[in-house]
Structure 1
Amino acid sequence: MTAGTKRKIVVSTIAEAEFYADGGFDDIIFASPMVKERISKRVISLATRLEAFHVMVDSVVGMQGVIDTPLDGDKKWNVFMEVDCGYGRTGCVWDSDDALMICRKAAAAEHVRFQGLYNHCGNTYVPDKDQKSQIQLTTVDRLVELKKRLEADGIPVPRFGCGSTPSCSRPINNMGVLTEFHPGNYIFYDYMQVLVGSCSMDDIAMKIVTTVISHKPEVGTLVVDCGWNCISQDGCERPKDTLPLGYTPIVDHPELRMRAMTQEIGKIEGNGEAIDYSKFPLGTRLYLYPHHSCATAGLQPKYYVHSGDKILDIWIPNRGW
Structure 2
Amino acid sequence: MATETFSGSIKDLPTPCFLVDIDKVKRNCSRMIKRYRDVGVELRPHMKTHKTIEGGDLMTGGTRKKIVVSTLAEAEFYASNGFDDIIYGKPVIESNLYRCKKLQEKIEQFHLLFDNEKAIEALERNPLENKKWSVFLEVDVGGHRTGVPWDSDKVVELARLASQAKNVEFRGIYTHCSESYSKTSDTAVRSQAETDTKRFLDVCQRIRQAGVPVETVGLGDTPCCSVFVDSMAKLTEVHPGNYIFYDTQQFGIGSCAFDDIAVRVATRVISHKPEINQIVLDSGFVALSHDGMYCNLPNGIAVFQDHPELIMKKMSQEHGCVSVKSGQIDCNAYPIDSMLFIYPYHACATAANHPVYYIHSGDKVLGVWKPVKGW
Asked if Structure 1 and Structure 2 have the same fold, meaning a TM-score greater than 0.5 normalized by the shorter chain, the answer is yes
Question: In 1, Cα distance between the equivalents of 2:211 and 2:235?
Answer: 20
Question: In 1, Cα distance between the equivalents of 2:218 and 2:292?
Answer: 26
Runs (4+) of structure 1 moved beyond 6 Å?
Answer: none
Q: Which has the higher contact order (CA 8 A, sep 6+)?
A: 2
- Which digits, 9 at most, give the CA deviation of each residue in 1:17-67, with x for residues without a partner? 011111111110000101223212x21011122111000101111122112
Counterpart for residue 367 of structure 2 = 313
- Which digits, 9 at most, give the CA deviation of each residue in 1:261-289, with x for residues without a partner? 12211111113343332221111011111
1:10 corresponds to which of 61, 68, 79: 68
Question: In 2, Cα distance between the equivalents of 1:146 and 1:283?
Answer: 57
Counterpart for residue 121 of structure 1 = 177
Structure 2, gaps ≥5 residues long? 1-58
Counterpart for residue 103 of structure 1 = 159
Question: In 2, Cα distance between the equivalents of 1:118 and 1:127?
Answer: 22
Counterpart for residue 153 of structure 1 = 210
Question: In 2, Cα distance between the equivalents of 1:103 and 1:127?
Answer: 31
Given that 2:189 and 2:227 are in contact with CA atoms closer than 8 Å, whether structure 1 keeps it comes out as no
1:66 corresponds to which of 114, 123, 128: 123
- Which digits, 9 at most, give the CA deviation of each residue in 1:231-281, with x for residues without a partner? 111122112xxx232220111111212122122111111133433322211
Change (3 A) 1:127 1:148: closer
Given that 1:247 and 1:260 are in contact with CA atoms closer than 8 Å, whether structure 2 keeps it comes out as no
- Please, what is the CA RMSD of the aligned residues? 1.5
State how 1:57-96 maps to structure 2 within 5 Å. Answer: 57-73=114-130, 75-96=131-152
2:266 corresponds to which of 201, 205, 209: 209
Does 2:139 correspond to 1:139? Answer: no
SS of alignment partner, residue 288 of structure 1: strand
SS of alignment partner, residue 170 of structure 2: strand
TM norm structure 1: 0.94
Question: In 2, Cα distance between the equivalents of 1:236 and 1:170?
Answer: 26
Does 2:173 correspond to 1:112? Answer: no
Return the letter of the residue paired with 2:110: F
Does 2:312 correspond to 1:258? Answer: yes
Question: In 1, Cα distance between the equivalents of 2:146 and 2:71?
Answer: 16
1:110 is displaced (CA, Å) by 3.0
Question: In 2, Cα distance between the equivalents of 1:68 and 1:55?
Answer: 15
- Which digits, 9 at most, give the CA deviation of each residue in 1:83-142, with x for residues without a partner? 011111000112223211211122122332211110001111023445433332221111
Given that 2:312 and 2:322 are in contact with CA atoms closer than 8 Å, whether structure 1 keeps it comes out as yes
Given that 1:28 and 1:52 are in contact with CA atoms closer than 8 Å, whether structure 2 keeps it comes out as yes
Given that 2:189 and 2:253 are in contact with CA atoms closer than 8 Å, whether structure 1 keeps it comes out as no
1:220 is displaced (CA, Å) by 1.6
Counterpart for residue 81 of structure 2 = 23
1:175 corresponds to which of 205, 222, 232: 232
The count of aligned residue pairs is 316
Does 2:216 correspond to 1:164? Answer: no
Return the letter of the residue paired with 1:124: S
Given that 1:246 and 1:259 are in contact with CA atoms closer than 8 Å, whether structure 2 keeps it comes out as yes
Greater fraction helix = 2
Return the letter of the residue paired with 1:45: K
Segment of structure 1 superposing worse, 78-87 or 173-182? 173-182
Does 2:352 correspond to 1:298? Answer: yes
Question: In 2, Cα distance between the equivalents of 1:127 and 1:120?
Answer: 15
Question: In 2, Cα distance between the equivalents of 1:151 and 1:67?
Answer: 23
Question: In 2, Cα distance between the equivalents of 1:146 and 1:315?
Answer: 40
Question: In 2, Cα distance between the equivalents of 1:85 and 1:294?
Answer: 23
State how 1:267-306 maps to structure 2 within 5 Å. Answer: 267-306=321-360
Return the letter of the residue paired with 1:27: D
Question: In 2, Cα distance between the equivalents of 1:296 and 1:191?
Answer: 12
Structure 1, gaps ≥5 residues long? none
Overall identity of the aligned pairs, in %? 45
1:15 is displaced (CA, Å) by 0.8
State how 1:182-193 maps to structure 2 within 5 Å. Answer: 182-193=239-250
Question: In 2, Cα distance between the equivalents of 1:170 and 1:12?
Answer: 23
